[in-house]
Amino acid sequence: MIEEIKWWSIVTYLNKPISFIGYYFSQWFFKNLLNIIVISIMSWWIIFIFLWSFPRFWLWKMLLFLISMIIWICMLSLVSLIISLFAFILEDSSFIRLTINKLYFIFGWVFFPISIYPIRMQEVSKFLPFQYYIYWPAKFFTTWDLEFFFSYLPYQVLRLVLLIFIVKLIYRKMLRNVEINGG
């Protein structure tokens, strides 16, 4: 999407009867979903090879995790869309994508659990949205604690709605700039 905005081939999408944002959101969403499905299948087979059985879990808890995972993938796709929309202003926003991807690992508590970080960094990371993407769904997957799931799900849905609002707001603003410039 960044290349299409940079070279103004975006115009071919804007005059079509499809939603430009919806097209790219669905493209990123299903790409991420397919990656996670393939990785999950490979992981389950590795677990089966080493344990000669699958771990026991409740099916309805797995469905709750899948709901959380779908929200997580939607949020990641919306963040990618927001970063790409900044190409209207910056001409190339790939450096923002690189920075955000690194922040996922640091503040999303992927490398280390939050208890290892210094107190100040723990306080800062609790206000950032990265924990809703990766850490909380992964923690629910490992603990299967329903109380924990229902404590973070409203925050995850709230962040999703907020990201949808931000994408629509940025897209309207950027689209107005394209129309002003004669595009």
SS (H, E, C) 138-165: HHHHHHCCHHHHHHHHHHHHHHHHHHHH
Structure tokens at 36: 């996670």
Give residue 165's pLDDT: 95
Q: What is d(CA 84, CA 80) in angstroms, rounded to the nearest whole number?
A: 6
Q: Is residue 98 predicted with pLDDT exceeding 60?
A: yes
Share of the chain above pLDDT 70, in %: 84
| pTM across the whole model | 0.77
Note the pLDDT tens digit of each residue in 32-49.
Answer: 889 888 988 888 788 778
**Domain with 167 in it:** 2-180
Note the pLDDT tens digit of each residue in 87-96.
Answer: 777 777 788 8
> Mean pLDDT over residues 106-117, rounded?
77
**Residues 27, 74, 10, 90, Cα dihedral to 10°:** -130
Q: Please give the span between the terminal C-alpha atoms of the chain, in angstroms, as a whole number.
A: 17
Q: What is d(CA 136, CA 110) in angstroms, rounded to the nearest whole number?
A: 10
Q: Please tell me the total count of domains within the chain.
A: 1
> Mean pLDDT over residues 92-121, rounded?
81
